[in-house]
Amino acid sequence: MSYGKPRLRQARYMLLNEENVEDLGFERFEDALRFGEGLFSYWRDFSEFILLKKEFLGREEKPTKFFAVKCSKRGNDVYERRVKARLGWLDREIEDKKFFEIRDFQVDKVVHTSLLWVTLTWDSKHEKLINAWESVGKEYNRFISALRRKYGKISVLRVWEAYESGYPHIHAVMLFHDAKFKVFPHYSQNERKLTFRIDEKDAIADFWHSHVDIQAISSLRNVFTYLKKHQEKIILGLSGAIQEGEGELTSGFDLENIKGLRTLFLCWIFRKRSFSVSGDFREVLSDLISHLHNSNMDMQVDLEGSMVKEWEYVFLGVFTGEELGIPPFIWVKELDKGLVTELLENRNRHAKT
């Protein structure tokens, strides 16, 4: 807590220090996961607002205005809406590219793909939970670098997630530009579903320290469908299964139940981005995002054609919803100048004492 407000810095100091964890009544960090999820949930739901001053810079006289804008926090309603708006177009905007279909598997035909769904797990005997999360980025970078040396250019969509134990696992959609892999269908009697595997699994798995699962992805659209569904589940902290394809025959790749809240908490406490997109995937996303923005904006320009800024927003600080008298379901509210002046004066007085 900082001035009575939950802060990540304090949470990290409490939970990632062995002595402090013991003072909280836990033998180790692994035993404090539910407690940590509670801390994260409290921080996420603790509504705070950015206070902004809007000043007019033009020649006319226009009144200065003050606004409170609700902060976007990992997993809260503002963050959820922003990401959903950003990714909600994925299914309808992506032009599909089929790599193979079930009818392609015939005796006299070899099926290849350049798009793989790779899951890298973490053996708890390899290292402690805290060390696993702190080194997950370095370990993954070592793995993908080794693959690129062997197979050439690879574009990747990467996701961190947490098992119930807290240990991380990595999902990566890999698009190989210079390599293809031989695909074969595999039906699991235990799970009662069909997946597609590759002959070259062991060659890829040799670059990772723990268990590796690899499946071939049949089409490009399923990659972006997964991204959208994954983000919704992680943002909402829900759990559920995601599978490729619909209908009587479930095929392609399958994602185990996501422990959404645990993943949110661990990505928060270890300051990890839940997913990243590289290479051609990033280019595709950028192209699609650009289609959503309207470039026809009316703005004043100078003699050289440069835009003239008429309004300026000044950051005044972050205040709680309670301090501002704003309920958490309000995202933006204009404030009276007198209230803003009083808030800033009170904060200055507290800072001096």
pLDDT the model gives residue 31: 95
Give the pLDDT band of residue 195 (cuts 50, 70, 90): confident
**Mean pLDDT to the nearest integer, 285-290:** 46
Q: How many domains does the chain fold into? A: 2
Residues contacting 142, CB < 8 A, separation 6+: 207
pLDDT value of residue 88: 60
Residues 237 and 282 in one domain: yes
> Within this chain, do residues 31 and 173 fall inside the same structural domain, yes or no?
no
Reported as a single tens digit per residue, the pLDDT across 316-338 is 999 999 999 999 999 999 999 99
Q: What is the DSSP letter of 29?
A: G
- One domain, residues 146 and 195: yes
3-state helix, strand, coil in the chain (%, to 5): 40, 25, 35
Name the one residue in this structure whose structure tokens are 């790779």.
Answer: 118
Lowest-confidence pick of 47-61, 112-126, 196-210 = 47-61
- Listed range (43-47, 272-276, 293-297) with the worst mean pLDDT: 293-297
Give Cα 251 to chain centroid, integer Å.
25
141 and 44 together in one domain: no
Buried b (16+ CB within 10 A) or exposed e, 15-48: bbeeeebeeeebeebeebbebbbebbeebbebbb
- Last residue within a domain, chosen from 268, 291, 314: 291
Integer angstrom CA distances of residue 232 from 84, 88, 93: 7, 10, 18
Q: What is the pLDDT of residue 188?
A: 78
Tell me the mean pLDDT in the region 121-139.
Answer: 93
Q: Stretch 202-227: mean pLDDT, rounded?
A: 85
Q: Is the pLDDT of residue 244 over 70?
A: no
pTM > 0.85: yes or no:
no
CA–CA distance, 263 with 259 (Å, rounded to integer): 6
Question: If you average pLDDT over residues 111-127, what whole number do you get?
Answer: 90
One domain for residues 98 and 171: yes
Average pLDDT over residues 138-143: 95
Pairing of strands 242-243, 212-216: unpaired
Order of strands across the sheet with 311-320? 311-320, 48-56, 65-70, 332-335
One-letter identity of residue 326: I
Phi, psi of 37 (to 5 degrees): -60, -35
Given this model, what pLDDT does residue 137 score? Answer: 93
Domain shared by 171 and 317, yes or no? no
The verdict on 281 and 311 lying in the same domain is no
Residue 84 lies in a domain: no
Q: Please report which confidence band the pLDDT of residue 187 belongs to, taking 50, 70 and 90 as the band edges.
A: confident
| 71-114 pLDDT tens trace | 998 888 888 777 666 666 555 555 677 788 888 888 778 888 88
Q: Do 202 and 106 share a structural domain?
A: yes
Report the distance separating Cα 108 and Cα 58, nearest Å.
74
Average pLDDT over all residues of the chain:
80
State which residues form the domain around 329: 8-74+297-352
